[in-house]
Amino acid sequence: MGNRREFLLQLSAFAAQPGKKISPKERVNLVLAGRAPDRPPFSFWHHFHDEDQPGRRHAALTLDFARRYQLDIVKVMSDYPYPKGAGSQWHELKPLDNPFPEQVKALELIRDGLAGQKHFVETVFNPWNQATKIASKEAVMELMRIRPQALLDALEAIARSEASHVRRALEAGASGVFLAVDNAQQGVLTLEEYRRFSEPFDRMVLEAARDAPLNILHLHGAKVYLDHFWQGWPVQVIHYSAHETGVPLAEARKRTSAVLMGGLDHRSVVGAPAAAVQAMVRDARAAAPKWICAPGCSVPDESKGAQLLELSRLLRTSA
């Protein structure tokens, strides 16, 4: 619980100095405590397609993105592939102590580059997602049907590996994890299948970061089982797409006391007219003060720098 106590002490020290200029990290800390900062914090992100590059390159791209667009929270992308097993079958996996060594190197450099001014969180794709990348969506579903225990064993091995990585990420200075869950939705798994084949392993990953001050649960998809996640998960923040699901943040606020993250339509916000962006912000503000302004998922990778600069300007002046 050391990280939580340190966070509360820092918040108390800041509250005693009302004239002090707010740093991005302090802005987020106030929201986590349910207090209104000078403006809501914001972030956005996309994939750099640098998974074949060393960690120092990934760190440089991440730091440049965060500085250029003046983000309050740095979501570190994590696209290095999960190592394949040595067995003849894709699902013959053993837990790994350090599955993403280049990512850990990048996190250490990002920590040094941010110099304590911003929270950064490590993206972790849940074990089911990693299994589909090792094999394929079809292969994972087939194994679930014909050899469910073999799939459970493989997912546990991935979960234990990811839990080890999470501990390394926190040691490297990350404020928490951004756990991406993309299979808790109609058309992928039933809720009962998710509860059996994914939830125990998602929770295993999150448990490794339980004492971190900023854990974010990302619920991906248009038909996600949102009601399953509003309560009882060891995270401070719940993130989903209000526009894809059709569930506005105002409605979500009635169902959870967690900080809500989202409000911007990731499919259209980049390059949208100022009035459209401002309207999204106004609607999402219903979740404040426990609200982080962000798109519901990553913005298009091909987004132009000038458009992202304008989006940053609008969020700093509208949010």
Please tell me the predicted confidence (pLDDT) of residue 318: 78
Give the model confidence (pLDDT) of 147-178 as tens digits: 999 999 999 999 999 999 999 999 999 999 99
pLDDT digits (tens, 9 = 90+) for 3-52: 555 544 444 444 434 556 899 999 999 999 999 999 999 999 999 999 99
Residue 244 CB neighbour total at 10 angstroms: 17
Place of tokens 């005693």: 16
What was the pLDDT predicted at 10?
Answer: 45
Mean pLDDT of the chain: 94
Helices (H) and strands (E) in the chain, counts: 13, 7
pLDDT of residue 14: 42
What does the pLDDT read at residue 244?
98
Token match 């401002």: residue? 278
CA torsion sign, 11 to 15 to 21 to 24? positive
This prediction has a pTM of 0.93
How many CB atoms within 10 Å of residue 248?
16
H helices present in the chain, as ranges: 2-15, 24-32, 55-68, 101-114, 127-134, 137-146, 148-171, 191-197, 199-207, 242-245, 249-253, 274-284, 305-318
Query: How high is the pLDDT of residue 319?
Result: 60
In the sheet that holds 73-76, the strands lie side by side as 73-76, 119-125, 176-181, 216-219, 237-240, 259-264, 291-295
pLDDT tens digits for 214-239? 999 999 999 999 999 999 999 999 99
Predicted pLDDT of residue 76: 98
Identify the pLDDT of residue 21: 84
Weakest mean pLDDT among 271-275, 284-288, 289-293, 314-318: 314-318
* Beta-carbon count within 10 A of 16 CB: 8
Q: Quote the pLDDT of residue 3.
A: 53
- In the prediction, which pLDDT does 36 show? 96
Please state the rounded mean pLDDT for residues 247-258.
98
Provide, rounded to the nearest whole percent, the portion of the chain with pLDDT above 70: 93
Measure Cα distances from 103 to 76, 81, 205 in Å: 9, 10, 17
Separation between Cα atoms, residue 128 and residue 132, nearest integer Å:
6
CATH number of 2-318: 3.20.20.210
Confidence of residue 209 (pLDDT cuts 50, 70, 90): very high
Burial of 92 (0-12, 13-18, 19+ CB in 10 A): middle
